[in-house]
Amino acid sequence: MRNAKFFVLFLAITAFFLGMTVQTAITAEERNDVLYYCDCGPDCHCNSVSTKPGNCKCNKPMKWGHVIKVEGDEAILCTCAEGCKCAIDANDPTKCGCGNKVTRVSLKGTGVYFCNCGGSCQCNTVSDQPGKCKCGMDLKKVD
């Protein structure tokens, strides 16, 4: 009988961890505000931006970031560590909620579809293909 009890406990623990793994996978897939951008420094103007990880035009790995605002065809990105979910600082738009400096990238010519409802918005939706934003507007691309 002792073994049966342990077996039930084992099953419960396995189910718990399986559940966590599935949830993590779903959460990761649901994000649509993530952009990878050139991280070569202020002197680089290669302006590589992509919704998927990869190298920039200078052949260095792009940095993970997430959109916290779109103004015109420029995206303002949080520069915190991968996985951050902060918002723009309401009192200081040069900073994100974590207090780090934001960076600005042009989405022009990158092939990235994005929302800019009203010319400036915080929907923060980006995609590698056309579609609708959560606000109901069509995502747009600037060539």
| Complex with Zn ion: residue 6 or 30, whichever CB lies closer | 30
Distance of CA 121 to the CA centre of its chain: 15
Span interacting with Zn ion, options 9-17, 24-32, 103-111, 116-124, rule CB under 5 A: 116-124
Q: How far is CA 119 from CA 69, 74, 127, in A?
A: 11, 10, 18
Span interacting with Zn ion, options 3-11, 13-21, 32-40, 102-110, rule CB under 5 A: 32-40
Q: Which tokens hold the place of 74?
A: 């420029």
* Least distance between Zn ion and beta carbon 116 (Å): 8
| From 11, 13, 28, 58, residue interacting with Zn ion (rule: CB under 5 A) | 58
* Least distance between Zn ion and beta carbon 122 (Å): 9
Burial (CB < 10 A; 0-12, 13-18, 19+), residue 106, is middle
Residue 112, helix vs strand vs coil: coil
| From 34, 35, 38, 126, residue interacting with Zn ion (rule: CB under 5 A) | 38
> Is 35 in contact with 49 (CB distance < 8 Å)?
yes
* Least distance between Zn ion and beta carbon 44 (Å): 4
Distance of CA 138 to the CA centre of its chain: 19
Task: Decide if residue 107 touches Zn ion (CB under 5 A).
Answer: no
Task: Decide if residue 46 touches Zn ion (CB under 5 A).
Answer: yes
* Least distance between Zn ion and beta carbon 24 (Å): 19
